[in-house]
Amino acid sequence: MRLYPNTIEFSASKIEKCSNSWFYKLQTTSQELAKWHFASPSDSAGYSELNTWRAKVLIVEDDGVTRMLLEEMICQRGLEVRTCSSAEEALKLLQKEFTPLIFLDIHLPGMSGLELCRCIRDSEQGDYYYILAGTGNNRAEDLKHILKAGANDYIAKPYQPSLLDVRLSVAEAQVHEISARKHLERELKFLALHDPLTKLYNRNQLEAMITGAIEKAREGKPSFLVYLDLDNFKLINDTLGHDSGDRLLVALAYVLKNSCRDHDLLVRFGGDEFVVILQEVDEAMARQIAERIRQRLDDFIFSEKGRIFHLATSIGIVLVDCLQTPAQILAAADSACYAAKANGKNRVEFHKNDAGRIARMISEADWPSRIREAMRKNLLPLWFQPVTSLDRKRILYHEALIRYADPSSPQLTAPHVFMTAIERAGQSLPLDRFVIASAMLALKKYPDLTLAVNLSGSSFGDNCLPGYVAQQLELHGIAAKRLIFEVTETDIIKNLAQAADLILQLQEMGIRFGMDDFGSGFSSLIYLKNLPVNILKIDGAFVRDLPKQPFNQVVIQAILGMGQKLGIVTVAEHVETIEEFQLLADIGIDYVQGYFVGVARPTPYRLNELFAPLNLAVE
Cβ atoms of 152 and 177 closer than 8 Å: no
Cα 301 from chain centre? 32
pLDDT band, very low/low/confident/very high, at 356 (cuts 50, 70, 90): very low
H-run or E-run covering 453:
strand 451-454
Domains with residue ranges and CATH for the chain: 5-192 (3.40.50.2300), 201-364 (3.30.70.270), 376-606 (3.20.20.450)
Could you tell me which residues come within 8 angstroms of residue 325 by beta carbon, excluding any fewer than 6 positions away?
Answer: none
pLDDT of residue 511: 95
Q: How many residues does the chain have?
A: 619
Q: Is 343 exposed, middle or buried (0-12, 13-18, 19+ CB in 10 A)?
A: exposed
For range 5-15, the mean pLDDT = 28
pLDDT of residue 183: 76
Cα 223 to Cα 301: distance, rounded to the nearest angstrom: 31
**Which is more confident, 423 or 604?**
604
For range 503-523, the mean pLDDT = 82
Cα 372 to Cα 375: distance, rounded to the nearest angstrom: 5
**Which is more confident, 614 or 278?**
278
In the predicted structure, residue 524 carries a pLDDT above the cut 70: no
Per residue in 47-88, pLDDT (tens digit) is 333 333 457 899 999 988 889 988 988 888 888 899 999 999
Query: Coil, strand, or helix at residue 318?
Result: strand
Cα 436 to Cα 503: distance, rounded to the nearest angstrom: 15
Whether this prediction's pTM lies above 0.75 is answered by no
Per residue in 119-169, pLDDT (tens digit) is 998 887 788 899 999 888 778 887 888 889 889 898 988 888 888 888 888
Q: Cβ of 203: how many Cβ atoms within 10 Å?
A: 15
Q: Cβ of 450: how many Cβ atoms within 10 Å?
A: 18
pLDDT of residue 32: 33
Per residue in 292-345, pLDDT (tens digit) is 999 998 888 888 777 787 778 999 999 998 888 898 899 899 989 988 887 888
- List beta partners, residue 497: none
Give the pairing type, strands 101-105 and 483-488.
unpaired
H-run or E-run covering 315:
strand 313-319
pLDDT of residue 395: 94
In the predicted structure, residue 209 carries a pLDDT above the cut 50: yes
For range 565-574, the mean pLDDT = 91
Per residue in 236-282, pLDDT (tens digit) is 777 778 888 888 888 888 888 888 888 889 999 888 899 999 998 99
CA-nearest of 455, 453, 503, 450 to 481 is 450
Residue 11 phi/psi, 5-degree rounding, is -100, 45
DSSP 99-122: -SEEEEES--SSS-HHHHHHHHHH
pLDDT of residue 553: 92
pLDDT of residue 51: 37
CA-nearest of 154, 150, 122, 137 to 5 is 137
In the predicted structure, residue 22 carries a pLDDT above the cut 60: no
pLDDT of residue 488: 76
